[in-house]
Chains A and B, each alone.
Chain A
Amino acid sequence: MKKNQLIAAAAAAVLGISLLSTGTVFADEAFRTLDEIKESGTINIGVFSDKSPFGYVDENGEYQGYDVYLAERLGEDLGVEINYVSTEAASRIEYLQTGKVDIILANFTVTEERAEEVDFALPYMNVALGVVSPDDAVVESLDDIGEDDQVIVISGTTAETYLVKNYPDIKLQKYDAYAEAKTALENGNAAAWANDNTEVIAFAIENEGFTVGIPSLGSADTIAPAVTKGNETLLDWLNEEIVALGEEQFFHADYEATLLDTYGADYEDTLVVEGGAVGTVETEAE
């Protein structure tokens, strides 16, 4: 009997492993082309549902925020319905690679590593990293972090990768979702929270008792829509769309509709990227 069971278990292991390792043969068509999306009448867009004010759900169950404002416009211009897919930071690449969403509009920072896995369109926002901490023990430099202190990060974000790479000694307290990370910080479970500076600034403004001690960390990056690698028709359309939207100052309007309440007017020019053109560099789309 015992032997039988061992054999069974070993077979189970072999079966499981071989099932997984036969991988990488997956279809090239892991995505839907622009025409296929239009034909189906619905586009699947992955957004955050707990990262206000960029992507969240209001008390009536409607998706809202800076990313969602853009998503709504994309849907309108494509002439299709939008099916929002609520995503966590760590599953964004996975959603694209398995074709479960057509576009990720979940505050997705462009990085070299990610660009190997997915295709980024032109950017629509600037971002760097930032660190927020409680007023009574503001963290102004990462060297202040004590040996027993923990820093909250969200799994799968650029803040996580940055800290793992550059500050391997800092103890990280990782969460899957924004809602969890923020509640944990509020509850005093860690010394600080490192994330996109946009997000930590918003958090400090909206929650009394917290200060952004490190407003800018790491390199200056951008946030852009992403599609499955190789989905050129959709990527091209997105790029043209973003350039076209720039002409009507769409992203400034987006800022004013969704972010003004949180940040005030001060951050408008530093945050918004119009027409895919970062800083003073003219559009690189041509």
Chain B
Amino acid sequence: MQSLGLDVLFKGSNFIRLLEGLWVAVRISLISVVLSIVLGIPAGMLMTSRSRVIRALFRVYLEIVRIMPQMVLLFIVYFGTTRVFGWDLSAEASAIIVFVFWGCAEMGDLVRGALISIPRIQYESAAALGMNQLVSFRYVILPQTVRRLIPLSINLITRMIKTTSLVMMIGIVEVLKVGQQIIEANRKASPNAAFGVFATVFLLYFLICWPISTLASWLEKRWA
């Protein structure tokens, strides 16, 4: 144990602190995913709009999300917005803004894809049955879309949890940062703490993300 540096995990409240750090990561992702779904559905509907301007704007938006690393967006939102607009965003709020900015684009694109993949005849049949656009969307289109979206949004949760590891760079004390603090506080007593702590953090991430992503791919196959 000593040589692998696992002993430090059981000192004081170290292990609980790691778990608390993990919860910070999970909390940020859950809030972000929920907001992304709420905003992503209207965004996806707008993406199928006939207006060229609206579609062009969304294209720009999608391209930014596709190209800019989340790390860069985090820095711009956390430090940049204060400078440019004078907003004082907390690190956690900045993280959620960036994740929703990203998640909303992904959800929107998925919703758009799902919407255009539903054959035209379904819209026409619904209209022929006397449903207006909203009613047909609610009873015909949405149920089919949701089935495709659920596995993908569950998948998005795991990707967000993984990306939360970046928030340590803007000062949020999450699991990785707690890990570093533990290593630092025990450098003298357990010089190999780095091994035990980082291996544990690695496993913790895996234990959170793996069940969720397995569920997502199971649902995807089942509902395909």
Contacts and interface: CB of A to CB of B under 8 A. Distances in A.
Indicate whether A and B are direct neighbours in the complex (CB within 8 Å).
yes
Interface of A: 4-5, 7-9, 11-12, 15-16, 19-20, 22-27, 29-30, 49-52, 56-61, 85-88, 91, 94-95, 97-100, 176-180, 182-183, 186, 206-207
Contacts of A11: 56, 60
Contact of B181 (A29, A49, A182): A49
Interface in B40-92: 56, 59-60, 63-64, 67, 76, 79-80, 82-86, 88, 91
B148 interface: no
B11 A59 contact: yes
A165 B182 CA distance: 34
B177 A86 contact: yes
B155 interface: no
B11 A183 contact: no
Contact of B59 (A8, A51, A206): A8
A174 B157 CA distance: 33
A36 to B, nearest CB: 12
Most buried by A among B59, B60, B76, B79: B60
Contact of A176 (B13, B169, B191): B169
B188 A207 contact: yes
Interface of B: 8, 11-14, 17, 56, 59-60, 63-64, 67, 76, 79-80, 82-86, 88, 91, 169-171, 173, 177, 180-188, 191, 194
Contacts of A7: 56
Contact of B82 (A4, A5, A30): A30
A52 B59 contact: no
A206 B191 CA distance: 10
Given A57-B185, A207-B191, A26 B82 contact: yes
Nearest to B80: A20
Contacts of A58: 12, 185
Contacts of B184: 49-52, 56-57, 178-179, 182
Nearest 3 CB-CB pairings of A with B: A59-B12, A27-B86, A98-B82
A30 B170 CA distance: 18
B180 A179 contact: yes
Given A22-B84, A26-B85, A30-B82, A52 B171 contact: no
Given A29-B86, A91-B79, 18 more contacts: A5-B59, A5-B63, A9-B60, A49-B177, A49-B180, A50-B184, A52-B187, A57-B181, A58-B12, A59-B11, A59-B182, A60-B12, A61-B12, A86-B171, A91-B171, A99-B82, A182-B187, A207-B191
A207 B186 CA distance: 11
A16 B64 CA distance: 9
A4 B91 CA distance: 36
Contacts of B17: 61
B41 to A, nearest CB: 23
12 contacts: A11-B56, A11-B60, A12-B64, A56-B181, A57-B185, A58-B185, A59-B182, A86-B173, A88-B171, A94-B79, A179-B180, A182-B184
